[in-house]
Structure 1
Amino acid sequence: MIAKITTGNNFNGVVKYIIDTNKQAEIIDSVGVRLKDINSIISSFTTQQGLSPGISKPVYHISLDFSSKDTDELTNERMSEIARDYLERMGIRNTQFIAVRHYDKNHPHIHLCINRIDNDGNLISTKNDRYKSEKVCKAITREYELYFSSGKEKVNRHRLKGADKAKYEINDAIKSVLEHCCSWKEFIQQLEQQGIKTQFKFKGQSSTIEGVSFSKDGFSFSGSKIDRQFSFSKLDQAIQNQRLADHDSQLYFNGRKTTVQQSYSCDERVPPKQNYTHSIMHAGYGISGGGGSDDDPNKKKRKRHF
């Protein structure tokens, strides 16, 4: 959920904008406002504004935008509940407001018209409201289990070039294949089909895997540099979650079957301190289970960077 906040001096303009029939507007909630028609709504706000006539900007206009992925869950009742919770956490209380849902875009969104002159004639402060709103939106998104959109989703891929283009293409590919891959072998194969190579990083002189990177078109990035969810440990956990097999992890490599306990190991014939490229997939192996994490701060000093 994202909030956009503006203040204004004219209830007439804001009310007419958010109740515009061309936007398929629907009033889903209100407090202290007569809803007979647009004029009665405006009159309700301006009458209370008269309790403190010297205020130049008595209008609070806040839009709450949600991801299209939440459309099925966001009934009018649910959106009204969220709107009231948002206002409460923002400290906007004891005043008039209307909540109007629009259907003119692909994503659910509502507009709130709020009177900054409360029922007692006091002015509702806007101090640090945008900073506060950002924190409130994140908390509500998490607590109501709404979709957290990544900033990467808003990037115009067609305008990217070079390393940025490769990085976002890798990001999109990993997200796509991760949803249905049940093994590292399958994961690597599907990425290779999209021109992406997978490389593993080893711990010190051992053959224990502690990191992963991906390369395309001559550009290489560690998993966590593409997205924090793409570190070796988090990718491995995601792949584990797809598996239907027993949680006892096993590593298959060059025909050998080895039980994996607390760390990941490759066949001892693999040269140490060498990037383990995508060719490993042709050995017929699978990786799963608990193990080393490339997010472990105690390991970062020992890692080599690609």
Structure 2
Amino acid sequence: MIGLGKSISHTGASMGYGWDQEKDAKVVYREHLSGDNPMEITQEFKVIQSQNHKCKKNTLSFVLSPTIEDGRKLKDKELKEITERFVKEMKLQERQAIAFVHRDKNHLHIHLYVNRIGFDGKAYKDNYVGKRSQQAAEKVAQKMGLTTVREVQQQKLDRVKDVRAKIKQIHEKVITELRAKDFDQYIKYMKQRDVAVIPSIDKSNRLQGFRFEFKGHNLKGSDVHRSMSMGRIAERIGFDKSVAQKITKENTLGLLGKTVAISPNLAVTIARKAIQLAVKKSIGLGMEI
């Protein structure tokens, strides 16, 4: 089960969405409320919220999403229990709250709205509320025997176990036998073996890592194998010393016809590898002499 949470200011509009009858919305939980429609509920929230004029985002909005398989089995009683347990984990008891379940799609989900302002006029601290929502949902799922986020992630990884192994095998062959001299060659050799290596570049034009696409699967390097992070790949590629020196000086490198920024740590890794290769080469030449 996944839990999402944030503070909002548009209480009425969100409440209207949650109670949308076209989405087969049904109330599964309510606390300290008597209204029969979104407008009435919003007004009840505002009565309490009027005690705190400083807090603008004065409503907490959560979405609880069991897996599709779990959602098909859950009855209204269990959906109410999920919500109650989540509210308790978030320490939001004794506040105005209402939750609706949406069954309009295959993926059942719960919309929960809680008044951020308590009856004492104090605002609930919403720092890291998104992260705390995830953790609370994880605990509720464990206690109720539902599938957790971690289990979902593991299931996904298990399904692509063979794909990961094949990508790793191709990677090792490219690294040890073909001995790529830079990232461009590495990407080229992998593509020749049907593995697309896709650079991840952020808005600042900084290279963040690589993704690997193979047989319909798209995986981060670290999800394929811990040895396939960008830094680990750089450690095993034989960058030319002069190229490495320029990379270290500018913290940039050429990639697929473009110049991209890299982190200082990656630049140091590339330089260190180039020096090691240069030393080995010098020793080899000395022995020949």
TM-score w.r.t. length of structure 1: 0.49
**Corresponding letter in the other structure for 2:20:** D
Query: How does 1:54-65 map onto structure 2 within 5 Å?
Result: 54-65=54-65
Residue of structure 1 equivalent to 2:6: 6
Deviations 1:11-36 (A, max 9, x none): 11111111112211111111112232
The RMSD of aligned alpha carbons is: 3.1
Structure with greater proportional helix content: 2
Counterpart secondary structure, 2:22: helix
Counterpart secondary structure, 1:125: coil
Deviations 1:16-66 (A, max 9, x none): 111112211111111112232222111111111111122111011100000
Displacement of 1:144: 0.6
Deviations 1:226-248 (A, max 9, x none): 89xxxxxxxxxxxxxxxxxxxxx
Counterpart secondary structure, 1:150: helix
**Corresponding letter in the other structure for 1:150:** V
Percentage of identical aligned residues: 22
Contact residue 62 and residue 113 of structure 2 kept, 8 A: yes
Query: How does 1:54-93 map onto structure 2 within 5 Å?
Result: 54-93=54-93
- C-alpha distance in 2 between matches for 1:92 and 1:114: 8
Contact residue 101 and residue 111 of structure 1 kept, 8 A: yes
Contact residue 26 and residue 101 of structure 1 kept, 8 A: yes
Displacement of 1:153: 5.7
Contact residue 72 and residue 108 of structure 2 kept, 8 A: no
**Corresponding letter in the other structure for 2:26:** E
- C-alpha distance in 1 between matches for 2:10 and 2:95: 17
Deviations 1:62-106 (A, max 9, x none): 000001211344111111111111111111122101010001221
Contact residue 5 and residue 63 of structure 2 kept, 8 A: yes
TM-score w.r.t. length of structure 2: 0.52
Residue of structure 1 equivalent to 2:38: 38
Query: How does 1:168-247 map onto structure 2 within 5 Å?
Result: none
Deviations 1:94-128 (A, max 9, x none): 21010100012212210001110012211111123
Task: Structure 2: state its 5+ residue gaps.
Answer: 169-214, 216-222, 226-289
- C-alpha distance in 1 between matches for 2:165 and 2:25: 39
- C-alpha distance in 2 between matches for 1:133 and 1:36: 27
Q: How many residues align?
A: 169
Contact residue 31 and residue 95 of structure 1 kept, 8 A: yes
- C-alpha distance in 2 between matches for 1:167 and 1:21: 48
- C-alpha distance in 1 between matches for 2:121 and 2:166: 57
Distance 1:152 1:51, change over 3 A: same
Deviations 1:244-274 (A, max 9, x none): xxxxxxxxxxxxxxxxxxxxxxxxxxxxxxx
Task: Structure 1: state its 5+ residue gaps.
Answer: 169-216, 218-224, 228-306
Residue of structure 2 equivalent to 1:150: 152
